[in-house]
Each structure stands twice: as C-alpha cells, then as structure tokens.
A and B are shown apart, each in its own frame.
Chain A
Amino acid sequence: MTRRRHAGDVAIVAFARSEDRPYDEGITEAEMVMPLLREVRERTGLSAADTDFTCSGSSDYLAGRAFSFTMALDGVGAWPPISESHVETDGAWALYEAWVKILTGEADTALVYAYGKPSAGEVRDILSRQLDPYCTAPLWPDRVALAALQARALIDAGHTDEDGLAAIAARGRAGRTGTAGPPGPSPRGEYVVRPLRTGDCPAVRDGAAAVLLAARHRAPDLCERPAWIRGMDHRIEAHGLGVRDLTDSPSTRLAARRAGAFERPVDTAELHAPFTSQEVVLRRALGLGPEVRINPSGGALAADPVMATGLVRIGEAADRIHRGESRRALAHATSGPCLQQNLVAVLERDLEREEESDAP
C-alpha cells in the first residue's frame, strides 16, 4: 500500500445523491449524508472498516456554524479513529484529494462525500463573502449579479442571446433529476438580474452526494463497470473580475488539457454551470460540439445542492459509465464567482479490464 500509482489506476466504483430521494428540508446534515453512505457501501460491499481514507466537502458559511463538518462525521462512523480530511469547498475538490491519496499509495479505497443545506441561509448573500474583501465584497454583489455581468459580456460578444440561454434552461430542467427536487421555476421566468431570468439560475436546494473510489486491484471486485479516472486537474484564475475575460475560461481549458480531455473525444460531459450562460462559456472553452451529450442529469439548473453540485457532476458522469451508457466522459466542477476556479476529470470505461476480471 505504499507504492506510488499512475494516473488511471483509480476508479469511481459507486455514487449516490440525495436528489434521488424525497426532499426533506427538516433534517440535519448528518441525517442527509448517512443514507447515501449506506447506499454506496451496500452497493459495493465495502465496509466502513475497509475504507482507508475519508474526505468531505462543505462550507461553514453555508451551514452557519463553525466546524459544521464534524457534525456530519457522526454519520460516517468515525470510531475507531479513521483517516479523514475535509475541504471547505465543493466536494469535487475532496474527491481530488482522495484521488491523490490513492495515487500516492497511502490508500486503496476512499469515501468522498459532500453536502449543503442552503435552505438555512441566503446563498446569494453568503457566497458574496468569498469575494475580494477590499474592493468587491463591501459592495455585496451576489452570484446572480456577477453571472449576469458575464452573461451580458457573452451576449455583447455574440456568443449567445437570451433565446439561446432559454434553450439551455429548458434542457436543464428536463434532465433526469429535474423533477426530483422542489417544483422549479418556469423555464424563462422573470429577470432576477438582467439578462438572467429565474430559468437561467440554479435550482438551489439542500442535498448531498457520496462517491467511493478504489485502486486498480480493488475496483473490479466492487463494481461491474468501474469508471476509471484517466486524469484530473484544477486551475484558478485571477480574483479581480475586471482582469479576467469573462467570456472565456482559460483555467477550464488548461485543467482539461492536463487531465487528458483533448487526447480523444468524449461522448458525455457533465458541466457544473450554475447559470445557463456559464454552460456557453464552458462548451466553448472545452470545444464540445453537438455530438457530445451535455448534462444528461440536468446539471445545476435542475438541482444545485451548493457544495455538493460539483461532486454530483463527477458522480453522474461515473454513473453513466457504471450503467454502460458512456465510454468516455468529462466531468467539470467550479468554485468562485463567474467560473473562477475549475476542475476537470476524464472518466473512462475499460472493456479490456472488465473482460480480464470476468475471466475465471
């Protein structure tokens, strides 16, 4: 368990998300996370004791209490003491940490989970606290306002228009999980911050997600069709909004290149685009053509469990491989205003390995 591994030797073997369950605002974070952990463990047969590493993603600002993640740990079963870590951001970055942990050879299996309970506060106000505290945060610009500035820049540049955004909104809400949450607003709706309408904005809701990772020699026993992580990388852009070209996402493109996304075409892409306009930016940055199926899950427009939404994208992409519906999928997660930080993972099905493991 101490040999360094190569990228590609780690797979996602199970995924569960709370969007597939009845919506309940009256439960705690631990109560939200626990059934998902049970689900991924039961599906793989991997016990808590056999899980080498646990990593979670969440935000104290969103929860409105300090060290909120320690409460959620109740649901993990952390005794005898487990090897555990936490990131104060979307769970996609927790998955990155767990992936690195397995690549270094310090773990063979890992549990990753993320949760958010945005119903406790005003997510538009809360996320403004992550902005530059000197020149930006004192103006309390919310994430819809900042995304709307980006959308206007895109429209001015001729990359989309309001009808184009409405088409993305309609597809998002027709996604697999679009009906599992609370009734969403109508596809177009009123302007929230012009040019973005309610239909262009994410369906913010409470939710959680859980993923199990396993190294090469364990994955085939835990999952019929493991989703092998071919590469993963994350990159960030300058914090000054006025310094960035808001119509482009060079950090996404760079992360994708380093993750190997451009080596061969993907058939599916799960993009963490909280706003319709941001899907336009991401498609352009990643060079995704009409042949690529975008966000069959519905994406963040269908359900945005803040701090879990990015991990859900990776899990959804993996699940399509688990179900045999994709051979090679790209998953993307974002954090910060106007797609400031971006993570890209490339997942693949490996038919040869599946045959090897089927052999007597």
Chain B
Amino acid sequence: MPEPPRAPLRVEFPFTRSLGPVLRAFLTGLRERTVLGVRATDGRVLVPPVEYDPVTADELRELAEVGPTGTVTTWAWNPAPRRGQPLATPFSWVLVRLDGADTALLHALDAPGPEAVRTGLRVRIRWARDRTGAITDIACFEPFDSAPGRPATAHDGVFADPVAEITAPARLDYVHTAGRAQHAHLTALADHRITGERCPSCRKVYVPPRGVCPVCGVATAEQVEVGPRGTVTTYCVVNIKAANLDVEVPYVYAHIALDGADLALHGRIDGIPYDRVRMGLRVEPVWLPGGAHPDHYRPAGEPDAPYDSYRELL
C-alpha cells in the first residue's frame, strides 16, 4: 500500500494568564531590572518565587531582593537551539543560584563553547532591551567574575504600573496521518466515489470509515461503495456566516444517510430554498472540478423517503 496521506496542522494559542501577588511582583521587578525572591516557611529565599511553600503549602508573601549575579549549579550545552529558546546560537542551559537566593533559576548562558562553562562559574544577568514583565526580560546570563555572598534584602514588591497578566503564546506543529481506512476513503473520493467499510460482526457500513466498528470494537476492512444518492435525516439552518467560508447565509447543513450507509455524514444542501429542505428529502452530491469531496448536495428529484426508512439513522 502506498504511503498514507499526511497533512500539516499548526495548533497555536495565545494563553493569557493572570498573576498572583508574588509572581506579579517578580515579573514586574524583572521589567525594572530587579530580581525578587520569596522567603519560604523554612527561611530559604526561593528564586524564582512561588505563591505557596513547596514543602508546607503555606501562602508565601515575604519578598526579598537578590543580586543580578550568581553561580551556576548545573549546566547542559545545547548545540542546536530550538524555536522559542532564549538564544538562536549554541548556548548552555544553566541553573543559576543568584547571590542571596537559596534555590536556582533556569535560563540560558551565552558562552563561546562548552569549554567555557563549568559548575561553579560566576555569571550575571544580561537584561533584554525591551522588557515587558516576563521571564524573557532576562535575555540570558553571561560569564562575569565577581565575589559571591551578597545577602538578600527585604523588598515591598511595590512598583508603578504592575504587570497584571502575561500572554504566553504556545505553538505546536503536527503532521497528521490519515490511517489505513481514511486513506482508502480519500483515494476513492479523488475518483468522485464515496466508500465506507462494513463491520464483519454487525454488518453495519460506516461512512467515512475509521477502520473500526465503534459498537463491536473490531476492525473493518470490507470496502463498500455507497450512494451517490442519499436521504436528509435531519438538518439545521445556519444564519451566521463563518470566517473564511464563501457561502451566503442562511444555508442548510444536514445529516445525510447515503444509500447503503448505516451512519449519516454531514453536508451542505443547496439548489433548493433553505426553508423547503425537510427530513426525508432525497439528495445527490455535487462535485466541483478539482474538489476533494462533494461541494454540497442538491435535491435528486425523487419522492421523499418514508420516515421508517431512515429512523434508525437519526
């Protein structure tokens, strides 16, 4: 069997997240080139800070400012940066314990090569030029000789115009594979034929086929050509125009049981005023040149199908 058809899909969401009092102060502080931690119940200063104690789950609110310099606690050289990562050229991932902090922050270290990086290396923050109140306001770290030991100092966390929320865009790219059953269905559609598959157990014909009878839980394999004509089992009138859809409203979207199929598929009904479409209407597909599936269905010019002939398919 030839390679099944594949199609790319990009899933992209701009997640908007509100901030609690601690993270609001932390991210606003980064915008102002100030790094804040939070004092945990056991007295440690956590950077990045959290709203609740990681051990006791107590609410944490006592902020403390730590230094822009720190020490690498572990590192990992990344020879091939990926999309979205802090630097586009090879860099080292680092956990950095900033001076005055008791825990380490994940970020990138700009260094010429892995030979220049070691655990214990002294580094400092390189601030981004345009800062919005986000972890990426730290562009990266860079090696910087300085003496450690500056303690954390109390901070009230108050800044003018605090950041209320962050927008975190998430984008993921996929390539979907049709699978065996859909592949056969799509191949037939290219010849303007509509095919389904018959369940070997209950004998029902599924269109479009998914390779499985969802009732019996067994594989379907027997190809069955259905239609081309069918019966409207139910329908709705669409009054709101969808984006990127070149169809005038109102129009009718219907469930259509193709002759020989035991499952209704859906399609648009045209060639008849929308208010004359009815259950039982007999229809046939209309293919447009180059179309990968029927563009719509139109009345077939037959008497309506009796209700009992499609009641099981509603």
Contacts and interface: CB of A to CB of B under 8 A. Distances in A.
Of the listed residues B23, B75, B217, B219, the one surrounded by the most CB atoms of chain A closer than 10 A to its CB is: B217
A74 interface: yes
A137 B136 CA distance: 10
Given A156-B119, A193-B78, A71 B210 contact: yes
B214 A241 contact: no
Contacts of B246: none
A193 B168 contact: no
B97 interface: yes
A245 B292 CA distance: 56
Contact of A61 (B107, B135, B172): B172
B104 interface: yes
A193 B93 contact: yes
A250 to B, nearest CB: 11
A120 interface: yes
A241 B93 CA distance: 13
Given A28-B210, A156-B119, A76 B95 contact: no
Interface residues of A, number: 61
A241 B212 CA distance: 43
Contact of B78 (A26, A145, A238): A145
Contact of B179 (A27, A76, A79, A242): A27
Given A140-B83, A240-B48, A242-B104, A129 B9 contact: no
A25 interface: yes
B277 interface: no
A27 B180 contact: yes
A151 B76 contact: yes
Contacts of A135: 23, 26, 48, 105-106, 135
Interface stretch (B11-19, B60-68, B251-259, B303-311): B11-19
Contact of B82 (A28, A35, A125, A150): A125
Contacts of B97: 242
Nearest to B138: A139
Contacts of A194: 76-79, 114
Interface residues of B, number: 68
A159 interface: no
A31 B180 contact: yes
B179 A74 contact: no
B241 interface: no
Given A152-B74, A241-B106, A31 B95 contact: no
A138 interface: yes
B134 interface: yes
Interface in B217-265: 217-219
B146 interface: no
A28 B182 contact: yes
A31 B176 contact: no
Contacts of A246: 74
Contacts of B3: 26
B170 A129 contact: yes
Given A31-B211, A79-B215, A241-B106, A121 B172 contact: yes
Given A38-B218, A121-B172, A133-B168, 4 more contacts: A152-B74, A194-B114, A241-B95, A246-B74
26 contacts: A26-B180, A27-B211, A28-B182, A31-B180, A34-B212, A48-B217, A64-B9, A64-B174, A77-B215, A79-B214, A122-B172, A125-B84, A133-B15, A134-B27, A135-B23, A135-B26, A139-B84, A145-B93, A146-B93, A152-B74, A194-B76, A195-B76, A240-B46, A240-B48, A242-B47, A242-B104
The 10 closest A-B pairs by CB, nearest first: A77-B217, A148-B76, A28-B179, A242-B104, A64-B174, A140-B84, A238-B54, A194-B77, A74-B214, A26-B4
